[in-house]
Amino acid sequence: MTIRLYDSQAQALRDFIPLKAGAVGIYVCGPTVQSSPHIGHLRSALVYDQLRRWLTYRGLDVTFVRNVTDIDDKILANAAGTTEEWWALAYRYELEFTAGYQRLGILAPSYEPRATASVQQMQDLIARLIERGHAYPAPDGSGDVYFDTKSWPSYGALTRQGAGDMESATDADPRARKDPRDFALWKGHKADEPESASWPSPWGAGRPGWHIECSAMASRYLGAQFDIHGGGLDLRFPHHENELAQSGAAGDAFADYWMHNGLVNVNGQKMSKSLGNSVFAAELLEQARAIVVRYYLGAAHYRSTIDFHEGSLVEAEAALERVESFLDRADRRLADTRFAGSGVQIVPDEFAIAMDDDLAVPQALAVLHETVRTGNAALDAEDLHAAAAARGHVLAMSEVLGINPLSPGWAVATDEPAMIALTALVERLLDDREIARQGRDYKAADRIRDELIAAGITIEDTPSGAHWSFD
């Protein structure tokens, strides 16, 4: 087993060698809970869920940390002028993110720390940076503390930028900075900010800067050095660059591998508030079944850009239905035979090779669909042994990808009144059709079949009777 991952810092594929044999520590930048989650947030969370599932399948014990940034300039700005407290607004949106993750079958993190619960660790890290000569309090007494970028020669190592190429830091008041690139570690309290949004510190009341939050939480839960740091491509600079700099300057080895997922465009355009083209999670999940949305968001290679357009979910639905139809057909045919429930649930070698190669999900899905095809061919040929083997492989692959239709989390309620009524009507018509066939009234039998097909119902005649499903 050799897993290779693309390391954004090295800008190359590297063999993945965990720091501790048999165990992996992963830190992923979670949401800043300032507003409702959109399709990009879901895609990013799903990418690292796939990574986690694959590493777990490969026998590694994964500790997965995804933070919640619940104190931030934008959170305070969005709560200002309303009757809602900033922390209440943050928690309300945090619940929306959690609901979206759960709908998509994204596994809960091992730890999900909120920034506001690790302020002391942030202050300790800032104090270390000041002591080492890599940070300085603002001389004007404002309470601000900045990272001194000139003091750290490796600044820019993640994104391979020289000092002259970098944009100025925009995350704090520039009133007392030595250099435009110096970024805020601690933000002194301002008169127009709520008192509840500040904590006492050696430099004055205030709150942490965005970048220091993740450095402190990552080291708190995973140690000074851990295996993988992940996040969206838009976080490489300045957020991840600043994390790497401040952690390294404080003496922490920090992340051994950096991974970044691609973004999501909408109809060929970058998704942005100014264009008004944001696709929010709640809207997306109204357009298709959650398992279909998961299939769609997870089908592309994680480093590629997804272009969401009308018809995207239709294509995903059709692909997933091929998997569902095979599993349903196999279970019905194998029932009451010695092959029922058989088939070792392990992934084929070709699937494993694809996933080991930097999570090549498109190639892995190709193996999944080819196995579905061969499984259907085996059923056609009444080769039940081969059909059972294919079923086991399909279940294993779809489970790894989180799209196993038979998993309890994807169960569709069949006890709703509409479904009960539909089932009763269809099964009554199928009974009538069978009576007509037995009486050699094939014209009536064909008419019933055609009416069901016109209504979107697929009929499959099997040795155990007619079976129906939605087309």
Domains located in the chain, CATH noted: 4-261 (3.40.50.620), 309-410 (1.20.120.640), 417-470 (no CATH)
What is each CA distance from 149 to 137, 162, 163, 174, 339, in whole angstroms? Answer: 14, 11, 9, 14, 65
Q: What is the pLDDT confidence band of residue 413, given thresholds at 50, 70 and 90?
A: very low
For residue 349, pLDDT over 80 is answered with yes
Q: What share of the chain is helix, strand, coil (3-state, %, to 5)?
A: 50, 15, 35
pLDDT value of residue 431: 75
Cis peptide before 238 (omega within 30 of 0): yes
Q: What is the pLDDT confidence band of residue 292, given thresholds at 50, 70 and 90?
A: very high
Q: How many residues does the chain have?
A: 471
What is each CA distance from 75 to 53, 86, 197, in whole angstroms? Answer: 32, 6, 10
Helix (H, G, I), strand (E, B) or coil at 65: strand
**Residues 5 and 18 sit within 8 Å (Cβ to Cβ):** no
* Residue whose C-alpha is closest to residue 245's, from 158, 315, 155, 323: 155
For residue 183, pLDDT over 60 is answered with yes
Q: How many CB atoms lie within 10 A of CB 415?
A: 6
Q: What is the dihedral of CA 423, 429, 430, 435, to 10 degrees?
A: 150
* Binding-site residue ranges for ATP: 273
Mean pLDDT, rounded, for 240-246: 97
For residue 419, pLDDT over 70 is answered with no
- Rounded to the nearest integer, the mean pLDDT of the chain is 92
What is each CA distance from 99 to 102, 105, 111, 311, in whole angstroms? Answer: 5, 10, 17, 25
pLDDT value of residue 462: 63
Compute the half-sphere exposure of residue 403: CA atoms within 13 Å on the CB side of its CA: 30
Rg of the chain on CA atoms, in Å: 27
* Binding-site residue ranges: 29, 214, 239, 243, 273
pLDDT value of residue 471: 56
φ and ψ at residue 229, rounded to 5 degrees:
-115, 125
* Residue whose C-alpha is closest to residue 183's, from 163, 167, 203, 169: 169
Q: What is the pLDDT of residues 381-409, one digit of tens each?
A: 999 999 999 999 999 999 999 999 999 88
pLDDT value of residue 343: 63
- Please give the sequence-ordered ranges of beta strands (E in DSSP) within 34-182, or none if there are none: 61-66, 135-137, 145-147
| Dihedral sign from CA coordinates of 315, 321, 326, 329 | negative
φ and ψ at residue 356, rounded to 5 degrees:
-65, -25
Q: What is the pLDDT confidence band of residue 221, given thresholds at 50, 70 and 90?
A: very high
For residue 205, pLDDT over 50 is answered with yes
Provide the percentage of residues in the chain whose pLDDT is more than 90: 75
Strands 23-28 and 61-66: parallel
Mean pLDDT, rounded, for 8-33: 97
φ and ψ at residue 13, rounded to 5 degrees:
-75, 135
Q: How many CB atoms lie within 10 A of CB 106?
A: 21
Higher pLDDT, 342 or 38: 38
DSSP per residue, 232-286: EGGGIIIIIHHHHHHHHHTT--EEEEEEEE--EEETTEE--TTTT---BHHHHHH
d(CA 51, CA 1) in angstroms, rounded, equals 15
pLDDT value of residue 338: 84
Q: Tokens at residue 190, please?
A: 């301002």
Q: What is the pLDDT confidence band of residue 288, given thresholds at 50, 70 and 90?
A: very high
Q: What is the pLDDT of residues 32-77, one digit of tens each?
A: 999 999 999 999 999 999 999 999 999 999 999 999 999 999 999 9
* Binding-site residue ranges for Zn(2+): 29, 214, 239, 243
For residue 164, pLDDT over 90 is answered with no
**Residues 209 and 186 sit within 8 Å (Cβ to Cβ):** yes
d(CA 340, CA 384) in angstroms, rounded, equals 9
Higher pLDDT, 361 or 428: 361
* Count of H-run helices and E-run strands, the chain: 14, 15
d(CA 252, CA 439) in angstroms, rounded, equals 82
